[in-house]
A and B are shown apart, each in its own frame.
Chain A
């Protein structure tokens, strides 16, 4: 069976510090991988998606970056966090190219930038 791991579950970081959130998927190969963010009072916003190793598409300009060093590993990073980076970050995966394909989500990381 497939599983998705996302860590850490919670993170408190000072403004200006770096960030690294990691997501790994098990039990499948060549998944599409996604990073979503939910800011307080707002819907989930797609930040990045990747259809293969080293292939990253950014949906919105921001202070964050993503990398996919391995087939089933997706990393969200920042060199210097801003207060506005606070939010709930979710990693997700699916297979195939259809936009109807079911997404499987990780349990999320609650990031507080102080």
Chain B
């Protein structure tokens, strides 16, 4: 069984500061890993995903995440926070193999607040 743990349900940063949202996962098979973002009153949108290959993945809006197998982590970062980054962020994991459709296991979410 897979699981995802997001450390910190709320993260607050100053505008221009580094954003770091932590995600650890457990999976019995090589995972596919995702970060989704939910802006207020909107559905979730895919930020980035890791499937195979390069472990540093770049996504939209300047976000990136690095897959570290030894640490079972997939932390999300952005060098400089912008006010528009305020949202809830979800880390998710899926089995590799192509047989489990879109059955993602999500973390509990991290609300990012950006203050001036």
Contact = CB atoms under 8 A, between A and B. Distances in A.
Interface stretch (B67-75, B79-87, B105-113): B105-113
Of the candidates B4, B44, B105, B107, the one having the most CB atoms from chain A within 10 angstroms of its own CB is B44
B9 interface: yes
Contacts, number: 81
B102 A94 contact: yes
Interface stretch (A14-22, A65-73, A105-113): A105-113
A103 B109 contact: no
A69 B82 CA distance: 44
Given A100-B32, A105-B44, A107-B43, A42 B102 contact: no
Contact of A107 (B4, B36, B42, B103): B42
18 contacts: A6-B43, A36-B106, A41-B108, A51-B101, A59-B103, A90-B43, A92-B44, A94-B102, A98-B98, A99-B94, A99-B103, A100-B98, A102-B49, A103-B36, A103-B44, A106-B43, A107-B42, A107-B43
Interface of B: 4, 6, 9, 32, 36, 41-46, 49, 51, 90, 92, 94-109
